[in-house]
Amino acid sequence: MSRIQSINIIPEPVLFNISSGKFILTEGTRIYSDQKLLKLSEYLKNLLLPATGINLIVKQTKEKIGNGTLINLKLTENNEELGFEGYNIEVNSKDINITAPNPVGIFYGIQTLRQLLPPEVIKSSIDENREWQIPCLKLEDFSRFSWRGYMLDEARHFHGKEIVKKMLDLMALLKLNKFHWHLTDDQGWRIEIKKYPKLTEIGSKREETQVGGRFSKKRDGIPHSGYYSQKDIQEIIEYAGDRFIQIIPEIDLPGHTRAALASYPNLSCKGYPFRVSTHFGFHKDVMCVGKEEVFEFIQNVLKEIVDLFPSNIVHIGGDEVLKDRWKECPDCQLRLEKEGLKREKELQTYFTNRIITFLNNYKQKTVIWNDALNENIKGKPICQYWFRRIKEVLKYLKKGGDMIMSDFRYTYLDHSYTFTPLKLAYKFEPIPKKLDERYHKQVLGLEALMWGEYVPNIKRLEWQIFPRLIAFAEIGWTPKSKKNFNSFQERLNFFLKRFDIIGINYATFREVKSHVLKRLFKVFTLATQEKGGT
């Protein structure tokens, strides 16, 4: 049986054996499920209905089984090998059995089932005269890493609810389970905070936007705005939850805060009026760490975040904090003196520790960018690695800390395909080379980061993300020993038929390659805006 007819799943499953014969989905097929899985049965039914036109009847396992073919969803005992997210599928000509220790495994079994069916099953309207068949097989599958993340930066460009939901759907298909939502930055504040209405009244709007790349002085002259109400957020949390995706909100502090400072200038060292930034890169004005009112503000904001998001994990940023203002600020200098600190760098540690302690008291885990990590960081935050100082990361792991890996050379979805071609992205290995095996478990997994500075619309967004995110999904799930770029490319070719069918943009096989001549200028492509995606 050729690959195309048989099995083309991304991420590649751990084990499978295909046998002869096939299961055919018909009007007579029934879904039988445990009581606890009725919601997932309905989800499966609704996934299959639009393209097949088959309105599968859902029954509880207790009920009498008739003559038709069956899809059985069943929870099993815990199984060490399958772990929390694993599942088994057995397909015979008469029935399909999806079993797993937890509902999340059944959900992933359903995602695999979707990929075992013809790609047209993703259509939103009926596809007549197609036989909806699945090859007979046995499949066992479980995840390599528990953290398989995708970050979307909506501070730089706001895309809105419908696009976020579309992203969550695609994440589910790829078995990605963490949606890191970068909601605040210099260029926009995108989440309603009831106690501080100006954050969105003022902070969610900017007059125009830098275009043309990092060193460009050009602005587009077009106002940009948008934010999520807490009601919108709740709706999206529920949507993500139904797809077993945890949302990790990021409130980036104390740098990348110009939108907050424009809303409440008293939070800065200088206190003068600011505009929401219209350009990208480093900003000198950051939150003052000398004034108590800043901590009060942050704690009130985080309290609303904690009450809103059920994930119990909050990302507090900590990247790229310039210390210029702290050096000149009497309040910051007083803090330095009082706390017995020597350098402004230590003020960031003081700040980070205070926020982590606050969040820990609310039973929240904190995530910080690795810029904020050093040996004096307390409260065991999860650290997200992106740039430089890998030695610090190795030390942290040895001390018992947990890491998420987002090495900028591989996982930045905003980077050009010249800088990070698909093949290089696929090579990414989250476990650092020099790490002793006993610490491997503390590398929770990886995240691919979609920074939004130069990504103004959905077409460009999809083009930057795909197909690289598909590669990261495989790296996060599939055992390292099964990673194979040639096999991935073949399966990808098939996978992307679904995107053609539903009109999702992606970079073509020609575009995702790094061409020899362009590679000479690869760093330059980070500073300019490479064409593509439209």
Q: Which spans of this chain sit near Zn ion (rule: CB under 5 A)?
A: 269, 288, 290, 329, 331-332
With CB atoms as reference, the residue minimizing the distance to ligand ACM is: 319
In whole angstroms, how close is the CB of 320 to ligand ACM at the nearest point? 5
369 binds, among Zn ion, ligand ACM, none (CB under 5 to 8 A by kind): ligand ACM
Question: Which residues, other chains included, contact 66 with Cβ-Cβ below 8 Å and sequence gap of 6+?
Answer: 30
> Which residue number, 120 or 320, has a Cβ lying nearer to ligand ACM?
320
* The dihedral sign for the CA sequence 86, 91, 97, 103: positive
Q: Is residue 392 near ligand ACM by the rule CB under 6 A? A: no
Answer for which of 208, 320, 331, 392 binds ligand ACM (CB under 6 A) is: 320
Answer for which of 196, 369, 466, 472 binds ligand ACM (CB under 6 A) is: 369
> Which residue number, 88 or 406, has a Cβ lying nearer to ligand ACM?
406
> Which residue number, 288 or 470, has a Cβ lying nearer to Zn ion?
288
DSSP 146: S
In whole angstroms, how close is the CB of 99 to Zn ion at the nearest point? 58
DSSP 477: H
Q: Judged by CB under 6 A, how many residues of this single chain contact ligand ACM?
A: 4
In whole angstroms, how close is the CB of 288 to Zn ion at the nearest point? 3
The 262-301 site mask, x for binding ligand ACM (CB under 6 A), equals ----------------------------------------
Q: How far is CA 356 from CA 283, 344, 350, 425, in A?
A: 24, 19, 10, 32
> Which residue number, 42 or 319, has a Cβ lying nearer to ligand ACM?
319
> Which residue number, 453 or 462, has a Cβ lying nearer to ligand ACM?
453
In whole angstroms, how close is the CB of 350 to ligand ACM at the nearest point? 21
Q: Which two tokens stand for residue 254?
A: 């104390």
Q: Which two tokens stand for residue 369?
A: 């960018």
Distance between CA atoms of residues 258 and 268, nearest Å: 9
Type of residue numbered 222: I
In whole angstroms, how close is the CB of 285 to ligand ACM at the nearest point? 17
> Which residue number, 120 or 319, has a Cβ lying nearer to ligand ACM?
319
> Which residue number, 320 or 346, has a Cβ lying nearer to ligand ACM?
320
Q: How far is CA 9 from CA 119, 253, 283, 349, 472, in A?
A: 11, 40, 44, 45, 14
488 binds, among Zn ion, ligand ACM, none (CB under 5 to 8 A by kind): none
331 binds, among ligand ACM, Zn ion, none (CB under 5 to 8 A by kind): Zn ion
Distance between CA atoms of residues 97 and 248, nearest Å: 33
DSSP string, 365-385: EEEEEGGG--TT--S--EEEE
319 binds, among ligand ACM, Zn ion, none (CB under 5 to 8 A by kind): ligand ACM
Answer for which of 319, 346, 407, 490 binds ligand ACM (CB under 6 A) is: 319
Asked if omega into 254 is within 30° of 0 (cis), the reply is: yes
In whole angstroms, how close is the CB of 368 to ligand ACM at the nearest point? 10
Q: Closest Cα partner for 351 from 304, 297, 395?
A: 297
In whole angstroms, how close is the CB of 345 to Zn ion at the nearest point? 15
Cβ-count burial 337-375 (b if 16+ within 10 Å, e if not): eeeeeeebeebbbebbbbbbebbeeeebbbbbbbbbbbe
Cβ-count burial 203-240 (b if 16+ within 10 Å, e if not): bbbbeebbeebeeeeeeeeeebeebbeeeebeebbebb
In whole angstroms, how close is the CB of 256 to ligand ACM at the nearest point? 8
The continuous run of DSSP H or E covering 48 comes out as: helix 38-52
**Cβ atoms of 263 and 203 closer than 8 Å:** yes
**Cβ atoms of 304 and 194 closer than 8 Å:** yes
Answer for which of 132, 181, 358, 386 binds ligand ACM (CB under 6 A) is: 386
288 binds, among Zn ion, ligand ACM, none (CB under 5 to 8 A by kind): Zn ion
**Cβ atoms of 370 and 326 closer than 8 Å:** no
In whole angstroms, how close is the CB of 384 to ligand ACM at the nearest point? 8
For ligand ACM, the binding residues (CB under 6 A) are 319-320, 369, 386
